[in-house]
């Protein structure tokens, strides 16, 4: 039987991010993907024109249906939309017997808000303490820690602050910086920097979703967390390098990509 993984996230009709990207990434890593929808977007590579958040009750019923019949070996969250959904999932996690990866999606690539300001605070206080790993980009890490991030040292400080909030590990992604992208991974008191190569392209839609989905899949396959993070970084690097160039705006990455070596530096 294949390893089973679950995504709890929003829907992207062009398939570059959200549950669609998660399911594609799950398939690429050879695991069986399940998906619980939290919100529906109207978007393409050029704009997001509408976001409709589902009721918390409907989201929880979806999760319960999954857990009762085909429980996952690992799960991840993406865009959650409302404080009610965040708090309902946080309450439900007390019964989870599998690791939960929290990708704290707050804005689309076009700047559309995918979570309410109230829900940001609830995520920080109630969901992050239940997370096995949290995977924010720079703006998300700044929002969760309340600290400006301008350097790799700032990223490391933010990663430690996130773990202090209660999650077991943090991966702060540095793609928003100029120059070579550097991610910072902090777990069990150890800090690692993961160096990548900057690809000058507009086609990076869904990178955060695919990264957290890859880590979730690799954990379900039995990989240690540090190895899962490194392999996911390799996958995203290759997926950006080989992006298919779809759409007239910020197009999707290549979910069929194969991973390539990435250098990790321990500190």
Cβ contact 104:90 at 8 Å: no
Catalytic residue among 173, 196, 216, 262: 173
Catalytic residue among 16, 18, 208, 251: 208
Q: Is there a catalytic annotation at residue 207?
A: yes
Q: Is there a catalytic annotation at residue 167?
A: no
Catalytic residue among 209, 211, 216, 251: 209
Q: Is there a catalytic annotation at residue 173?
A: yes
- Please state, in angstroms and rounded to a whole number, the distance separating the CA atoms of residues 89 and 92: 5
| 31 dihedral zone (left: phi>0; alpha: psi -120 to 50; beta) | beta
Q: Is there a catalytic annotation at residue 204?
A: yes
Catalytic residue among 204, 233, 251, 262: 204
Q: Where are the beta strands (DSSP E) in the chain?
A: 4-11, 32-43, 48-53, 74-77, 100-102, 133-134, 169-172, 182-187, 190-195, 263-266
Q: Is there a catalytic annotation at residue 145?
A: no
Catalytic residue among 38, 145, 207, 216: 207
Q: Is there a catalytic annotation at residue 208?
A: yes
- Please state, in angstroms and rounded to a whole number, the distance separating the CA atoms of residues 232 and 209: 11
Three-state DSSP class for residue 187: strand
Catalytic residue among 76, 206, 211, 233: 206
List, by residue number, the catalytic residues: 173, 204, 206-209
């Amino acid at each position: 039987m294949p390893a089973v993984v679950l995504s709890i996230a929003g829907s992207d009709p062009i398939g570059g991010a959200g549950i669609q990207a998660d399911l594609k990434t799950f398939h690429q890593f050879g695991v069986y993907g399940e998906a619980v929808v939290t919100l529906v977007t109207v978007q393409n590579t050029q704009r997001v024109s509408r976001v409709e958040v589902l009721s918390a009750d409907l989201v929880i019923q979806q999760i319960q249906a999954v857990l009762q019949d085909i429980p996952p070996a690992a799960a991840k969250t993406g865009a959650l939309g409302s404080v009610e959904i965040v708090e309902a999932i946080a309450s439900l996690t007390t019964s989870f017997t599998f690791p939960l990866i929290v990708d704290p999606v707050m804005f689309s690539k076009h700047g559309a808000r995918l979570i309410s300001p109230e829900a940001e605070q609830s995520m920080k206080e109630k969901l992050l303490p239940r997370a096995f790993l949290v995977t924010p980009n720079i703006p998300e890490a700044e929002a969760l820690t309340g600290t400006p991030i301008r350097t790799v040292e700032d990223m490391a400080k933010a990663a430690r602050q996130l773990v202090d909030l209660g999650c077991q590990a943090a991966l702060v992604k540095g793609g928003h910086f100029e120059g070579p992208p550097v991610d910072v991974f902090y777990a069990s008191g150890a800090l690692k920097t993961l160096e990548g190569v900057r690809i000058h392209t507009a086609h990076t839609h869904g990178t955060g979703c695919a990264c957290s989905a890859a880590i979730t899949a690799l954990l379900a396959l039995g990989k240690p967390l540090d190895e899962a993070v490194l392999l996911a970084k390799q996958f995203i690097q290759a997926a950006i390098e080989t992006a298919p160039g779809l759409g007239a705006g910020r197009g999707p990455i290549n979910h069929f990509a194969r991973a390539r070596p990435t250098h990790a530096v321990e500190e």
